[in-house]
Amino acid sequence: MVNYRRNFVPGGTFFFTVTLADRCSKVLVERVDLLRDALRVARQERPFVIDAVVILPDHLHAILTLPSGDSDFSGRWRRIKGHFSSAFIDTSPQLRRRPNGDLALWQRRFWEHTIRDENDFARHVDYIHYNPVKHGLVQRVRDWPYSSFHRFVRAGILPDDWAGDADQSRDGFGERE
C-alpha cells in the first residue's frame, strides 16, 4: 500500500481537490443541496472555515482553515463524504459497492496542499474561481452558480467581471502550460 504523506498543521489552511469515483457523473451539481447540507452538518460537528469553494459536476475544490490546535482535515472530509453519501443513498437508485462493501461514490483519497502564505492563498482562490471556465462549463466566472466567487463579489473583494470571458487570453490560473 502507498504510504501517503500529509502535512498536518494545527490550525492550518489547506487547498483540497475531492473527486467522485465516476468522473462522468454530474451528481455534485445535480444534488448540490445534499452537498451543502453535508458541509453544514460536518461544520457543526467539527468546525472549520470554508475560505473558498467551487462545486463542479464530478469534483470540488476548497480551501479550508481548521481551528487552532486541530489538524484533522481527513476526519472532516470523511464526515462530509459520509453525510453526502448517506443522504444520496436515501434519494437515489442503488449505488455500486466496492469489494469491501464501501460505496463507490467517491474516490477513496483526496488531494491536499498546505497553503504557505498570502500569495499561495490568492493563487489557489483564483484557481478555484476560474475552474468552471477552465473546464468549459461557462464562459465567465460569474456564470457558475456553485462557487464562493459570488460571496467574494458581495464582500467587495472581487469585481463581478473578474477574469473576463473565456475567449480572452488567460494565464492558466495555476495550470502549467
The predicted model gives 7-29 an average pLDDT of 93
What is d(CA 172, CA 177) in angstroms, rounded to the nearest whole number?
7
C-alpha 45/C-alpha 31 separation (Å) is: 22
| Distance, C-alpha 121 to centroid of its chain | 15
Catalytic residue IDs? 146
Predicted TM-score (pTM) of the model is 0.88
Q: Which of residues 151 and 168 earns the better pLDDT score?
A: 151
Give residue for cell 488531494: 111
Strand 13-19 and strand 49-55: pairing? unpaired
Model confidence pLDDT, tens digit, residues 105-153: 899 889 999 999 999 999 999 999 999 999 999 999 999 999 999 999 9
Q: What is the mean pLDDT of the chain?
A: 89
Structural domains present in the chain: 13-154 (3.30.70.1290)
